[in-house]
């Protein structure tokens, strides 16, 4: 039984404002969680770098392959020249000893060039093999990163849509609740919420402001009991809500 119901009591919307604040706190937390969600930018950057690296290795690999092909052609043409020179040497057509000496000298020089070229080709092939392994390794890494990225994206989208659904639900609840609050009280709460760090609506605990713990003056306590206006803490300026005074 509320013997004081004869008096005008605390602002009737205080319990609703208090509930609204709780919804706003949840909404703020949801928004913060949404803002701090990682859409995988770091992995995406790493992926891009790795792809560029792979392209670079492939490009030098293709260049080296072209070099190898050129060297093979050169080697074959050297072989051909040596074969022709040796053909001339043993054909019996050339009889002049000096010409024969010169020809033999040419053949020796060609063979030395050929040997050098063969060594070069060998080292190019070794490099090509090393690059092939690098390409395979990088592709395998890329594949793994790609999968990790996809998994991250799936998780990110799941969490994001769950949070967004929760936000929608709470926004609907908030709108519904806000409609039941008098526009002036709602406006005051909303203005204060922009100006002050939460909480805005504070419960009175043992005769003191639940936020800054300043004891309510007898005047304020009386105002809370008997006035239907919004009452603010004299010290921190927050809206005071005395739960025991709430009807229902
Ligand atoms: Zn206070």
Domain membership of residue 158 (yes or no) is: yes
Among 176, 196, 221, the domain boundary falls at: 176
- Interval between CA 5 and ligand 1 midpoint (Å): 26
The percent of residues in the chain predicted with pLDDT above 70, rounded, is 96
The pLDDT of residue 206 is: 95
Domain membership of residue 8 (yes or no) is: no
Domain membership of residue 22 (yes or no) is: no
- Interval between CA 164 and ligand 1 midpoint (Å): 34
Q: How far apart are CA 226 and CA 166, in angstroms?
A: 39
Residues 153, 202 share a domain: no
Mean pLDDT, the chain, integer: 94
Number of domains in the chain: 2
Domain limits for position 201: 182-246
Residues 143, 51 share a domain: yes
CA distances from 9 to 222, 226, 239 (A): 10, 5, 15
Residues 108, 52 share a domain: yes
Q: How far apart are CA 42 and CA 36, in angstroms?
A: 14
Query: Can you list the residues of the chain whose pLDDT is less than 70?
Result: 1-8, 247-248
The pLDDT of residue 189 is: 97
- Interval between CA 110 and ligand 1 midpoint (Å): 100
The pLDDT of residue 11 is: 87
The pLDDT of residue 145 is: 95
Count of CA atoms in the C-beta half-sphere (13 A) of 145? 18
Domain membership of residue 240 (yes or no) is: yes
The pLDDT of residue 228 is: 87
The pLDDT of residue 247 is: 66
Residues 115, 193 share a domain: no
């Amino acid at each position: 039984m509320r013997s004081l119901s004869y008096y005008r009591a605390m602002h009737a919307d205080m319990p609703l404002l208090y509930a609204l604040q709780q919804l706003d706190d949840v909404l703020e937390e949801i928004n913060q969680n949404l803002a701090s969600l990682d859409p995988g930018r770091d992995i995406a950057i790493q992926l891009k770098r790795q792809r560029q690296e792979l392209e670079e290795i492939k490009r030098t690999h293709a260049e080296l392959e072209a070099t190898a092909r050129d060297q093979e052609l050169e080697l074959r043409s050297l072989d051909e020249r040596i074969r022709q020179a040796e053909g001339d040497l043993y054909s019996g057509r050339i009889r002049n000893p000096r010409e024969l000496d010169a020809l033999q000298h040419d053949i020796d020089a060609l063979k030395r060039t050929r040997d050098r070229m063969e060594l070069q080709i060998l080292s190019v092939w070794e490099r090509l093999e090393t690059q092939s392994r690098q390409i395979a390794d990088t592709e395998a890494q890329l594949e793994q990163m790609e999968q990790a990225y996809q998994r991250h994206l799936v998780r990110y989208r799941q969490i994001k849509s769950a949070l967004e659904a929760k936000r929608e639900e709470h926004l609907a609840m908030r709108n519904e609740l806000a409609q039941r609050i008098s526009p002036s009280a709602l406006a005051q709460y909303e203005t204060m919420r922009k100006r002050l760090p939460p909480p805005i609506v504070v419960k009175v605990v043992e005769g003191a402001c639940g936020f800054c713990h300043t004891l309510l003056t007898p005047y304020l306590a009386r105002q809370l009991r008997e006035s239907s206006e919004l009452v603010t803490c004299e010290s921190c300026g927050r809206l005071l809500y005395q739960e025991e005074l709430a009807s229902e």
